[in-house]
Structures are given as C-alpha cells and as structure tokens.
Amino acid sequence: MSGPIRVLVVDDSALMRKLIPQILLQDPGIEVVGTAMDGLIGLRKIEELRPQVVTLDLEMPRMDGIEMLRQIMGRHRVPVIVVSAHTKEGASLTLKALSLGAFDFVTKPEEAASGRMAQIAFELALKIKVAAASGAPKMIITQPASRRKHSRPYSTQPHWPSRIVAIGVSTGGPNALQYLLSQLPEDFPGCLLIVQHMPEGFTEMFAQRLDECSAIEVKEAQSGDLLVGGRALVCPANRHMKVRRMEHGNVAILVDQPRVNGHRPSVDVLFNSVAQEFGSKAIGVLMTGMGDDGAIGLKSIQAAGGFTIAQSPDSCIVDSMPRSAIDRGFVSKVVSLAGIATVLQAKCAPDRSSTDGGAETAGATALAEGPSRRRMS
C-alpha cells in the first residue's frame, strides 16, 4: 500500500476530534484526512475525502453511529473501527455495531482529557493498519434470531461432555461465534470453552448475547463452573481460563497470572491447560483474529493426541491467528466458518460402539473421572 493510510474521524466530542488525530499523528503510516461531528457530515466527508478507514463514535446527534454504520456497509464498504465509551450502554452499542459489520473497536479511557488517550494510541493505530490491509468487509454475518431453550428434565447427575472444545478468537470473533454457536443443537454433547480477546466490561454482555442466539447454554465463566455437555463458557476479560480435573467433576478455573502473547485472557493458556488435562479428548479451534495467540497451544493439543481445527483464512475477517497455526503444521483440519459446527458435531458424537447405550459413553465417563489420570486414551 503506497502512502499513509487515509483516516476519517467521526465523533461528536470536540475534544475527541482533537485528541484522536493528535495521537494518530505520531504514526507516519497514518494520515487523518478529516473529522466530522455526526453521521450526516461523516457520510458527506466519506464521499469527498475517500478515506480508507473510518473511526466512529456511536452516540451522536442527528445521525448516530449505528445508522451511519448501516449506510457505510450498504454504500461505501469502508472498514470502520468503533471508538467506544467504557460503559454498559457503550458496550451494548459496540456489540450491535460489530454485528452490523464494524471491523473492530477500541474503548475510550475514562479520563481522556488528562492525556490518557495515549494509552490507546498503539492499539488504535495497529487496528487501523490491519483494517486498511483487510480492505472492504469480506462478509457480514446476519445475527441469528433469539432461540427458545427447552427446559431439560431435572437430573441430579450432571451431563458429562464427550469432548472438551477449546476455542480461541479475536478480531471478527463476535460475529463468527454468534454464527457458530447458533448452528449447534441443544443436545450438543461437548463442552465449549471460549477465549475471545475483549476488554473488561464487555464479556458478560457478550456471553448473554451469545446465549440468546444459541440453543445451548452460554455464560460468562466463573471459577468452579462445571464442564458439562451443552454448555459454553466465555472467559471474562482480564483473567486467564484453565481447566482442572476434580474428583466430583471437571471445572473451569480463572487465574490472574501475567499476560501471555500480550493478552489476558490468552488462547495459549487455555489450549495448554486443556491439552494437559484432557489429552486426546480435547479439541482446539483457532478462529479469526490478529496475531499468533493460540498457535503454540494448538500444537500442545495436537501433541497430546487431540484434534485441531483452524478456520479457513478466506472466511476470516483477519486470518493471522489461524494462519499462524496452519503454516506451522499444527492443524488437523482447515474448515470454513460455515462448516465448523458440522465438524464439531461429528467429532463430539458419543462413541456408541464401546457401550450399550445411552448418552454417557466411555469417552464422556472418562472426562468425569478424577485427577489420577493425567492423560486420556
């Protein structure tokens, strides 16, 4: 790409229209070609200035960021990075913007006026560069409708999973995960553990949105949550998630250890833990995202006898996370986003050949056994 990346800043705050260009000015690879105070002006300036990336505030007068984003996706197909308020309402609007096709987001510091905007300078510049390199949005995944969950008969015996499925995802992940989980049936026999790179204040609401569009149960993980079939646990922001085999059932645990690959949560931390505890009963899935977090962990799952999946690069918003594992030979199968659910259902199907019956198979029983066995056959 020749010349600096042309960026349009859209924000109703005069302070932010001053600060964002100032912090981006420090990067010679980026040029702020204009600013706008609302969506109406912003759309006119897209026509006039032809930016390669737009940074977008969501709460604005006259035409808000959500409506402007809809029009950008329909008419201009320019990558959009949301600059989000770090509030509950801001989180809700940001997740909606991602579902409409926004490339990614950064969160405003609570005290932007004191110079703390410099804290997001590197993150914003990096995401602008990746967005510009990715070009027009490849695909906008229609948000699945809410799904009514059927109440299961009460049982004192937990439904132990046939497999533990660990998923790592970053940029493009909210839409990709909504699509994937919406394709899984209510009786899906595996347990899913999800690390999505996301800042604090977003993961609880994100898990709730996933739960609304999924037949399986989805919740933000808490230490001690049982790993049971038909459940997905989303790691909360700023914690690492691991797993532990216990005498009365296997559980997720959250830890405050240092960042790995620059991330907390880190996909590598989850994958390495799942490989160590569950061996050949583990499945690792590396999906859309920037960087290489998860590649080494996927190698651990592969070395332990587990099955490893990478989302096909052509179906990713950003393909560097899965590609980093594919290029190193750590992937058993490369699968498009549309096909991942089918592969997971096939791999998690109980092995009925070894038992007479029922949903509790030899594999599922093995997952429920105590910590004396560190590997599974």
Instruction: List, as one string, the DSSP characters of 61-121.
Output: SSS-HHHHHHHIIIII---EEEEE-SSHHHHHHHHHHHHHT--EEEE--TTGGGTGGGGGH
* Homologous superfamily, domain 164-352+359-368: Methylesterase CheB, C-terminal domain (3.40.50.180)
Any catalytic annotation for residue 225? no
Q: Encode pLDDT of 191-225 as tens digits.
A: 999 999 998 889 999 999 999 999 999 999 999 99
Which residue among 12, 211, 293, 319 is the active-site one?
293
CATH topology assigned to domain 5-134: Rossmann fold (3.40.50)
pLDDT surpassing 50 at residue 164: yes
Any catalytic annotation for residue 170? yes
Q: Encode pLDDT of 227-259 as tens digits.
A: 999 999 999 999 999 999 998 899 999 999 999
- Residue 50's pLDDT is 96
Any catalytic annotation for residue 377? no
pLDDT surpassing 90 at residue 127: yes
For 32, counting Cβ atoms within 10 Å of its Cβ (0-12 exposed, 13-18 middle, 19+ buried), the class is: buried
The token pair that represents 143 in the structure block: 């948000």
- Whether the predicted model's global pTM rises above the 0.75 cut: yes
User: Strand pairing partners for 32?
Assistant: 7
What mean pLDDT is predicted for residues 115-131? 86
Which residue among 170, 214, 273, 324 is the active-site one?
170
Torsion, Cα 220 66 212 210, to 10 degrees, reads -40
The full set of domain ranges for the chain reads 5-134, 164-352+359-368
Mean pLDDT, all residues of the chain: 88
Q: Encode pLDDT of 283-293 as tens digits.
A: 999 999 999 99
Q: Report percent pLDDT > 70 for the chain.
A: 85
Please tell me if the domain spanning 5-134 has the same topology as the one spanning 164-352+359-368: yes
Which residue among 11, 12, 197, 324 is the active-site one?
197
